[in-house]
Structure 1
Amino acid sequence: MTRSNLVGGEMLNWSDLHPGDARPAAAGPAAAALLTATLKPDHTVLVAGPHAAELVGAVASQVTSVDLLVRSAPDAEELAELIGETKGEAYCGSLDRFAEDTQYDVIVALDGLERLVGPDTAGFSWTDALDRLVGLLGPEGKVLLGAANAFGFERLVQPEIGAALPRDEDWGRDVGDRAPAGYKRVMAAVAGAGLQVSRTYAVFPSLVQADVALTEVDGLAAVVAARAVASRNDGPVLMDPYRVVLDAAEAGVAFELAPAWYVVVGVEAPAVLPAGVVPEGEGVLLEEHLMMALRCDDQAELRKVIPSYVAWLGAGGSGSPDNVILERPLTGVGGASYRLFGEAQELDVVAHLRRFATRVLESGSRQPWPAAADPHQLTARLASMTGITVPEQEFSPDEVVRPRGSAEQLRTVARLADELADASARAILFEGTVSGIRRSRPYRIGHAVLNPARVIRRRLKRVLKKVRR
């Protein structure tokens, strides 16, 4: 006996909740936080598209009435049992076959609109799906919509994007079925459907793993976004994901390059999801401040900040530069202050500096010293600024840290080549200078005066050779 209502276009041997070769359903703490912040008990809700069972359960626990629309028959049965008969109905099939006349207060489509239809549906574009959902809204209806970015950070950092075979769910799909390319076109399509946007979020690292959603991607929020993107791209990459996000944020384009967006219509929501994931207050990540000093060859700043940071560690602070915030004092009086960003790390001073040195080498960051992939050498140089000597035995002599991305590796190779060419040119110049000095008359006279015995001995050898002949 089936618990769901078949509306047509259902996929009988397919699951978006438990995929074999497809994207999983929408999920993540940012998605759960958005639902918690916007749904009210008296709302009637339609959850359209594949959402993780945890999200569906969260919706069912917050409102008195919720209906589901999914294309997978196994998923519909599983979710129907989850929400129970008292909460609402589970519908299985394609959105274009969904002919119910119910008007909903809220439509939740955080997975986007691409997976609201199956292979039996042809010519049903993204904007057609949006218009169909809008037609199911009641007066003053609210929409929570997800949209994937066709040209986000993944395209910049992942080498296999263009070469990978399509997943099972991608075969035979029309290009028009996908979300409009780019943030501006997505927002234009939403406006064209007659929706007034209340708030838009940049979602990281993806719709199906929404760890964080931000209305602005700058400052410490950019660090949070960079960490989320880097955690998703831990294999071979074209460029270091962490640095790409931070550089994009500095250029003011991180929001447009986000992996996905949440579009909220008709209801206010907080600026950061989930709450507290971005530290409050002023300051800059200590790692970023030190890397800027490295790139600018500002050794005076390094020699000022690193001893101050080490003193903070000695006073009970705990944290490497990548999770410590440098707070600038409001006045020029007194030294800098620090606060932890994330969990404390039980490491000694050298280990904290070594962690920073390793991250510098992995990022391929510019340094004021000769390029090298030796964490010991860089750690020892940084530690020497505080009067600390790093023993050789604390590090493996064969340890080499390479930049994460291919682009950073090529940049490091180019820098090494420049340094080698410069050293070679200096050696040739030095050799020519020395050779010229040796051939000069003053050098020969001085050499004869300072080394008479050697000169006489050499001349006697030549005379003896001539006599023997």
Structure 2
Amino acid sequence: MSEVQVVRGEMQPWTDHTTPRPALAALLTDVVPANRRTLILGPHAPQLIESVLAHSADVAILVRSVADAQQLGEDFGPCLQVIAGALDGLQTEPYDVIIASDGLDRVLGYDSSDLSWSARLAAVSALAAPDAVVVLGLENEFSLLNLLDSRPADERHGDDEWRPLHDDPTRPVSVDQLKSALPWASEVYADFGSRTFVRADVAATAGPGELPTRLAGAALESVDAPLLSPAAEGVDTAARAGLLPAIPTAWLAIVGAQPPHDLYTQTADTVLTATQTLTGWDTTITGDPNSTSVLAFDPSVVPSTIASGVSVESVLFRLASAEDVPAFRKLAADLGEWVTTSRVIVRWDDVIYDGDSFAYGVSGWVAEDSIEKEDLLAAAWARFHDRLIGQHRRHPWPPWMLGDDLVSAWLGMSGVEAPEPTQATSPDTLPATTEQVARGKELAAALDAVLETSTTTVDVRTALTEAEEAKQELFELKGHVYGLERTLGFRNKAMKTRENRIRELRGQLQRLTTAHERIRGSRTYAVSRVIFHAAQVRKPKVVARKLARKIDRRIRKR
């Protein structure tokens, strides 16, 4: 454990939250010169500190938290000089490299002077040598996520992100303002969710569906924040207007060094770098990929050269919004011919379309074994369905044709015929078409899980839409209940009428039974019965002789 140096402005007890940023670590590896006196300013994740230590021999880090400083001293030992305190309390010789990728918001303590952003920048400039390499981060107040955040401004930062200044007129809020505010010439990268870094000049020329826009949108989708509406629509709109570098979560200014790549992005446990060429992108992948029980990332399937073009998903969205079903059907048929049995999971948001042909993008997620063409198409269409309906985009299909029915229709457009229907063996047996789509949905869900795009956070627009749908459904159910209540009322009245009639008939039956019993017990009824039986006699003389004999025998016995 190295000894912690304490300067004015330290905070205790306190700790600042940090998260790993592999893409930023790869960028720092490319820009930090070797064997130079380096200062890391502000809280940084251990992974970033390790990437700097791997290139520099004399590294110091300034953090305002004494607890964080002690932990860093234990983790890195004598190879890292740890200083606890505030920026305005640090007095030292100039540094050849200053890394403040966290920005200047968490470098002051409770007792620090009320320094504006420009005053903090001046303090950083005083610590930098004339030819120093400076990496400076700046949070974007105009970021898309900040504009769509449903939380009030005072609830967006927790105690572990305490910032003494929020409203500062000297703070830059655009790429041009940041370049103008810096006392050095700089190269600015747009930071999308700390997962994707795109050179600002390249991002300004990227259109909807192109590689920088796709990766920027995927990075913002992975940020777990309560939003007013999905971020994907705003990313495409900004790209169409050439304002993609104006909406990232932050910017990263690099002074005194030229990064070799235009794009850095994190995927799985690897970092993909890409450099724009006249015909497309040259890509490289570093790091050890991770894997899950279902899917794994295979860098070997990612092309080293990716053609320029838009994603198939953006074209399908456009055709669906324009209600151009014939063109949608033709494109689906072409996709059905292009897809073949493979281990690579097909996703329309990463398949590139140049108007004539298709090509794979930067997604390298594969299954353990080869997957049939029909299952790959089902997975791609199931994922497209979730993104089309989940983002509330316009489409020409009726609202009741959703879910498996719509996916089955798209599969049919791609040339996948529904299997022959089989006789159900039980009431719970699913149709063959549903089983076909279910396999695709499983693959799509596994892909969303590894891409970290399936979150439980629901944006306000979706919540309001679901609430309106629930309200409409409730209204319809109330009408249905009212109809059932009327029907039950009519049936109840009919049953009461029948019950009253049955009671009347029972009363009449009781009265008739009583009268009948009274008649049967009378002498008149007895005489009538004798007369009735006498009338049945066909030979009266024979009966008379028999009666005479019986009477004679009885008289004799007496």
Aligned match of 2:198: 214
* Counterpart-to-counterpart distance in 2, 1:249 and 1:392: 39
The one-letter amino acid paired with 1:285 is S
Q: Conserved in 2, the CA contact under 8 Å of 1:224 and 1:277?
A: no
1:265-304 aligned at under 5 Å gives the runs: 265-269=255-259, 270-274=261-265, 276-277=272-273, 280-304=306-330
Q: Conserved in 2, the CA contact under 8 Å of 1:312 and 1:338?
A: no
Q: Conserved in 1, the CA contact under 8 Å of 2:42 and 2:62?
A: yes
2:235 to 239, 245, 258: 245
1:186-265 aligned at under 5 Å gives the runs: 186-187=177-178, 191-197=180-186, 199-205=187-193, 210-215=194-199, 216-217=202-203, 218=206, 219-233=210-224, 236-265=226-255
- Displacement of 1:163 in angstroms is 6.5
Q: Conserved in 2, the CA contact under 8 Å of 1:114 and 1:178?
A: no
Q: Conserved in 2, the CA contact under 8 Å of 1:4 and 1:76?
A: yes
- Displacement of 1:361 in angstroms is 0.8
The one-letter amino acid paired with 1:337 is F
Q: Conserved in 2, the CA contact under 8 Å of 1:26 and 1:50?
A: no
- Displacement of 1:411 in angstroms is 7.5
Aligned match of 2:90: 98
Q: Conserved in 1, the CA contact under 8 Å of 2:140 and 2:251?
A: yes
Aligned match of 2:349: 322
Aligned match of 1:71: 64
- Residue 105 of structure 2 corresponds to residue 114 of structure 1: yes
The one-letter amino acid paired with 2:316 is L
The one-letter amino acid paired with 2:103 is G
The one-letter amino acid paired with 2:122 is D
- Displacement of 1:228 in angstroms is 0.8
- Displacement of 1:376 in angstroms is 1.9
Aligned match of 2:9: 9
Q: Conserved in 1, the CA contact under 8 Å of 2:418 and 2:433?
A: no
Q: 1:145 to 1:392 in 2, by over 3 A?
A: same
Percent identity at matched positions? Answer: 26
* Counterpart-to-counterpart distance in 2, 1:241 and 1:373: 26
- Displacement of 1:185 in angstroms is 6.9
* Counterpart-to-counterpart distance in 1, 2:35 and 2:95: 11
Aligned match of 2:52: 59
CA deviation vs aligned residue, 1:363-401 (integer Å, no higher than 9, x gap): 1111122234721232132223234338554479xx9xx
The one-letter amino acid paired with 2:248 is A
The one-letter amino acid paired with 1:99 is Q
* Counterpart-to-counterpart distance in 2, 1:108 and 1:172: 19
| Secondary structure of 1:144 counterpart | strand
Aligned match of 1:28: 21
CA deviation vs aligned residue, 1:291-320 (integer Å, no higher than 9, x gap): 111111222221211111112223547402
- Displacement of 1:409 in angstroms is 6.9
Alignment gaps of 5+ in structure 1: 17-23, 330-335, 418-469
* Counterpart-to-counterpart distance in 2, 1:124 and 1:389: 68
* Counterpart-to-counterpart distance in 2, 1:202 and 1:15: 27
Q: Conserved in 1, the CA contact under 8 Å of 2:21 and 2:47?
A: no
| Secondary structure of 1:200 counterpart | strand
Question: How many equivalent pairs are there?
Answer: 392
* Counterpart-to-counterpart distance in 2, 1:72 and 1:178: 27
* Counterpart-to-counterpart distance in 2, 1:42 and 1:92: 24
Aligned match of 2:290: none
- Displacement of 1:352 in angstroms is 2.6
* Counterpart-to-counterpart distance in 1, 2:323 and 2:138: 42
- Displacement of 1:115 in angstroms is 0.8
| Secondary structure of 2:51 counterpart | helix
- Displacement of 1:243 in angstroms is 2.8
- Displacement of 1:73 in angstroms is 0.8
- Residue 73 of structure 2 corresponds to residue 80 of structure 1: yes
Q: 1:106 to 1:358 in 2, by over 3 A?
A: same
| Secondary structure of 2:114 counterpart | coil
Aligned match of 2:537: none
- Displacement of 1:410 in angstroms is 6.1
Alignment TM-score, normalising by the size of structure 2 = 0.63
Aligned match of 1:426: none
CA deviation vs aligned residue, 1:59-92 (integer Å, no higher than 9, x gap): 112111111111111221222344433x452211
The one-letter amino acid paired with 2:389 is L
Q: How much is the aligned-residue C-alpha RMSD, in angstroms? A: 3.3
Structure whose alpha-carbon radius of gyration is higher: 2
Aligned match of 1:389: 418
- Residue 358 of structure 2 corresponds to residue 337 of structure 1: yes
Judge which range, 128-137 or 25-34, deviates more: 25-34
Alignment TM-score, normalising by the size of structure 1 = 0.75
Q: Conserved in 2, the CA contact under 8 Å of 1:142 and 1:266?
A: yes
